[in-house]
Structures are given as structure tokens and as C-alpha cells.
Structure 1
Amino acid sequence: MAEVLVTGGSGYIGSWCTLALLSAGFSVRTTVRDLEREPQVREMLRRGGADPGASLRVMRADLGADEGWAEAAAGCDAVLHVASPTLTQVPRTDDEMVRPAIDGTLRVLRAARDGGVRRVVMTSAIGAIAYGHPPRDTPFTERDWTNVDAGIAPYQKSKTLAERAAWDFVAGEPLELATVNPTGVLGPVLGPDYSPSLGSIARMLDGEMPALLKFATGYVDVRDVASLHLLAMTEPAAAGERFIATAGHSLWLRDVAAILRERLGERAAKVPTREMPLWVARGLARVNPQMRSLRALLGRDLDATSAKAERLLGWKARPIEDTITETAESLLALKK
């Protein structure tokens, strides 16, 4: 049975990738920074419908250190590099986020190369594609790269430079690479770790978002992100390619809020109905650290297309309206 390493097994996308691999019959190794999280990882997988038993090995490895990576990757057929460095506070400088992202990616790639891995699939982001550009009327594609010199937020800069470092690394190595670049990731919750986009849904439901910010982006179901990782890992045509993961066209936050109110009724009573004026939002973004990273997005539509993944790999995303509903249902159930 083929064995696959998933970095960041306790994370939102990592846990769903692990579930997809186990369901497809693979043995999985997954990394966590602290082995005390192993019971939590296994419990998350049970919530997702899997009881992995011996088919899963949880191993300690931290993106910020060399220890553990050689053992984790040795003998694996493929690596899904999903993990990303996390910060507990807003970075004071870009390098606080950028440098760990690049160094962590290169650690994983070196371990994969030295361990005889055939292909690495790296979880990048739409943040490496659609930021720092002037307004446009056409969707972003995999040919686009974020302009890191355009004053973008540290997170998008880190994703862009880490992905570029990965492509530069494999250019001189016998190692195949594919990247998956999701838009806003939504879907059922398995544990306390979930995506920033999902956090926005939670704040809407809880009434913590008094007004809706005006920007539009794509969204995609985490289960479809996981399935695209598996296709990028197994399909010969995926080697050397980037793949945007998004379901249909972008949605404004007001569209997301309308879907929640329509589908959930009274349970979405706290979801805001009004949109914050742009001039107010831009003013708040100057002084609010949490909003500062959204300043460049205000008033913008970051539409993107998954036509390449659909054409080359046969990938298809489920309707985003269903995903938004299941996201909300899952978050509400988590509180019970």
C-alpha cells in the first residue's frame, strides 16, 4: 500500500486531506508540532467518518526546525505539504511571516528529495495569484502571480514567495511538484482549527460582524480542496502545474450573508444585512490591525477560475451555496 506524508495533520485542510487519502486506501503519515495533539488528530478523523488505526502514523516535526523531517518523508511515495507557519499576533515585519514560510517549505522539499519521494503537492493559495494587481474584468488564472512589491499583506507575500521558492527548488531536482491554490476555504468543521474564511462565517452567525465589508472573492469546499490534492498527486498531467481551487464565480460578502439568511432562517438572525460604506471601512483599516490586511481588498472583486483543474484533471467543485449552508450547520453544531 502506498504511503503519503501530510504535513500539518491537525489543521483544517490537512485533516480533510488525510481523510481523503485514507478513504482512497493510502497509508498516511502526518506531522504535528506536538505529539500531545495525536489524540485530537485521531478524534477529528473519527468525526469525519474514519477510524484510521494503524493506517495513520502521527509524527513530530516543526516547520521551524530540521528535526523529524527526514524520518517523516523517508520512503513515502508522495508528500502533501499543507502545513503553514502560524503567528499568534500581527507580524511587526513582513519577514516574521515570510522567512518561516520559505524556510519551512524548503525543509519539506529537501526531506522529500532525500527520502525518495516522487511528487510533492504544495498547498499554496489564491494569495499567491490575485493580489497586488490593478482592477480587472477577467478572472485570475494560474498564469497570474501576486505582485509582492505592491504593498500586500504579509500572509499573501509569504504564500507567494514560498511557492516561488518551491518552484525554484524543484527546477534542479528529480522531484515533481504541483500546487493547489484555493480561494476562501469553507466546509464542515472537524475541530477547533479552521480557515480564516470560515472564521468570517462564524463571526456573522455570532453577531460579531456589525456590518459587511465590501469585497468579493471565490470560495471552495474543503472536501473539494482535498480531492484536488489527491488528483494533483496521482494524475500524470498534474506534474509541474498550478491549480486554482474555487467553486464558480466570486461572491461579495453580502451574497454570502444572503445565502445564510435564506438557508438558515431564524438561526441566521444575527447575520448582518447592511454593507459598511467604503470610506468608513478604509478609515478603520488604517487604525485596526485586524482589518489592515483587508485594506487592499476593499471594493475589489478577486474572481478566479478553476477551468484548468476541470479540464486537465476532471475535478469538479460542489455548489458553493450548499457548502456555505453546511459550514454554518457545522459551526452551530460545534457549539452544542
Structure 2
Amino acid sequence: MPLNASTQALLARLERSRPVLVTGATGYVAGQLIRRLLEEGLTVHAAVRDPGNSERLAALMALYERLPGELRVFASDLLKQGSYAQAMAGCGVVFHTASPFVVSVLDPERDLVRPAVEGTRNVLEEANRQTSVERVVLTSSCAAIYSDNADAQDTPRGCFD
């Protein structure tokens, strides 16, 4: 997955002596980002729900073993205020990729939107508390706008934007 121009420019300007935090580190977007950060030789603080889950961390650990950067894994709960403090300590940049995602949704507002907003608020509030954090990059994926084919039929021009 190629990085967009603004992310590439940010990578070129990063203070290399400080770690970089990536939330939701076991997700697809995060994994691609972490690969690139490790290739650059950066220290990545990877925030995950369960650092003891070796199966979920296998892809990240494989990257760490073959790339020059440093990887440190931290337990963080997106919906628990203050749980990113340790992972974010000393970081200059935070890439926020974490967002609750479930396939079976009965109430989209309750099951997806509210947790995503609350989680982002928790990460941003922690970033404000950390004096080292200079920038927060909020990411997303097509999953944020994608549903099923029936929904696409009802959209203008047959696509989401």
C-alpha cells in the first residue's frame, strides 16, 4: 500500500530520536504504516488491546525481525481514558488508526460511531497531555464508508464519498 504524499513528507521531517505511536497496531492500515516506519529505522510504539496475543502480533513481529527499526508493544484500550499514556510517552507523532469495527451491527450509532468518536477523543486528550507530541495523524480506511452493494445502489452516482 503506497503512502500518500503528505504522509511521505511527514516521514521525511520526523524527529528520528523520538518514537512514533501507532494505535490499532494490528490492523491492516496500521501494519502497512508500521512496516514503512520500521523501514525508515524509527522506533514504533505499537498500541494493541492484548500484547499477550502472539497470534495477532505475529505479522508485526515478523516485520520487526527483518527491518531496521525498533518495535515496542503497549497495551491500550481505545475506550479507556488514559490508557494510551504509557505508549504515547516521549512520542513526537501519533498515528491514530484504531477504531472499533464489528461486522454484525444492530445499531450503527451505538456500535460504531459512538465508540469511534469516544476512542478518538481519548487519544486526542492524551496527546494534549503529552508535551512531546507535536502532531496527530488521524487515518481511516474504506471501511469507514463502505457497506454492502444494496447501500451503494441508493447513493448518488452509485458510489460513496
Which amino acid in structure 2 is aligned with residue 31 of structure 1?
A
**Any conservation in 2 of the 1:45–1:51 contact (CA below 8 Å)?**
no
Q: 2:150 aligns with which of 292, 295, 303?
A: 295
C-alpha distance in 2, partners of 1:100/1:62? 11
How many residue pairs end up in the alignment? 142
Higher relative contact order (CA 8 A, sep 6+): 2
Matched, 1:58 2:77: no
Question: Aligned-pair RMSD on alpha carbons?
Answer: 2.9
2:67 is aligned with 1:91: no
Task: Report the TM-score when normalising by structure 2.
Answer: 0.74
Question: What is the identity percentage for the equivalent residue pairs of Structure 1 and Structure 2?
Answer: 33
Cα distance in 1 between the residues matched to 2:42 and 2:68: 13
Q: Which amino acid aligns with 1:296?
A: D
Per-residue Cα deviation, 1:166-217 (whole angstroms, up to 9, x for no partner): xxxxxxxxxxxxxxxxxxxxxxxxxxxxxx8xxxxxxxxxxxxxxxxxxxxx
**What is the SS of the residue equivalent to 1:100?**
helix
Contact 1:29–1:72 (8 Å) recurs in 2: yes
Q: Deviations over 1:255-310 (max 9, x none)?
A: xxxxxxxxxxxxxxxxxxxxxxxxxxxxxxxxxxxxx7443312744387xxxxxx
Residue correspondence of structure 1 range 28-67 to structure 2 within 5 A: 28-38=44-54, 40-41=56-57, 43-45=58-60, 47-48=62-63, 50-51=65-66, 55-67=70-82
Cα gap change, 1:52 to 1:85, in 2 (>3 Å): same
In structure 2, the partner of 1:23 is: 39
Asked if 1:107 is matched to 2:110, the reply is: no
Q: CA deviation at 1:112?
A: 1.2
Q: Aligned pair 1:10/2:29, yes or no?
A: no
Tell me the distance in 1 between the aligned counterparts of 2:54 and 2:126. 22
1:82 paired to 2:82 = no
Instruction: Please list, as runs of the form range in 1=range in 2, the aligned pairs for 1:137-176 lying within 5 A after superposition.
Output: 156=145
Q: Which has the greater radius of gyration?
A: 1
Q: Which runs of 5+ in 1 are unaligned?
A: 128-154, 157-195, 197-291, 305-336
